[in-house]
């Protein structure tokens, strides 16, 4: 998933620098995002879940077009996901950091079952974090029942 890192980092740093606190701020604004899924999605092997409703995106790290969070600052981050199955098939989502598996969440095969995952990670600037479906097929429910969030601690 890591692609065009140099260009990505440059553009991200330019964007973040334009939105930094003014001199009156006592501390830097810490990156945080909270996104939900508008419509259900069918997922196939290695599909990245693209959460389409961006509720919060402080620091502009979450990209709804790709479903990937790109760390605008180095530091310790917490990520959480809650998701609901759409079909009667179990749903597994893996949290990935720079193409490396970190942790998985699972929802059983009963329709409208839920799964969660939570993790704390140390990130460097431009590290990528996202949710990926590892199985052949699955469906994730929308209508804001499925969500993904992260913030710098």
Q: Would you say 36 and 153 are in contact if contact means Cβ atoms under 8 Å apart?
A: no
State both tokens at 1: 């998933």
Query: Which class in CATH covers the domain with range 5-152?
Result: mainly beta
pLDDT of residue 103: 98
- Separation CA 88–CA 107 (nearest Å): 10
- Within 10 A of 142 (CB to CB), how many other CB atoms are there? 18
CA 59 vs CA 49, 56, 101, 148: distances in Å: 21, 9, 25, 16
pLDDT of residue 27: 60
pLDDT band, very low/low/confident/very high, at 23 (cuts 50, 70, 90):
very low
124-149, pLDDT tens digit by residue?
999 999 999 999 999 999 999 999 99
Per the rule left: phi > 0, alpha: psi between -120 and 50, beta: everything else, 102 is alpha
Give the distance, in angstroms, between the CA of residue 42 and the centroid of all CA atoms in the same chain. Answer: 18
pLDDT of residue 15: 53
Give the distance, in angstroms, between the CA of residue 60 and the centroid of all CA atoms in the same chain. Answer: 12
Q: Is the pLDDT score of 20 beyond 50?
A: no
Q: Would you say 150 and 96 are in contact if contact means Cβ atoms under 8 Å apart?
A: no
What average pLDDT does the segment 57-81 reach? 98
pLDDT of residue 111: 82
């Amino acid at each position: 998933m890591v692609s065009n890192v140099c260009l990505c980092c440059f553009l991200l740093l330019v964007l973040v620098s334009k939105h930094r606190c003014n001199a009156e701020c006592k501390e830097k604004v810490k990156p945080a995002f909270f996104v939900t899924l508008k419509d259900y999605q069918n997922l196939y092997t290695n599909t990245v879940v693209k959460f389409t409703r961006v509720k919060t995106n402080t620091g502009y790290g979450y990209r709804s077009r790709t479903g990937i969070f790109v760390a605008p600052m180095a530091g310790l981050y917490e990520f959480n996901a809650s998701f609901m199955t759409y079909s009667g098939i179990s749903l597994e989502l893996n949290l990935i950091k720079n193409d490396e598996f970190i942790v998985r969440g699972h929802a059983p095969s009963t329709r409208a079952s839920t799964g969660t995952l939570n993790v704390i990670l140390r990130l460097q600037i431009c590290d990528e974090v996202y949710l990926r479906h590892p199985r052949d097929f699955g469906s994730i429910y929308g209508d804001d029942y499925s969500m993904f969030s992260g913030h710098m601690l």
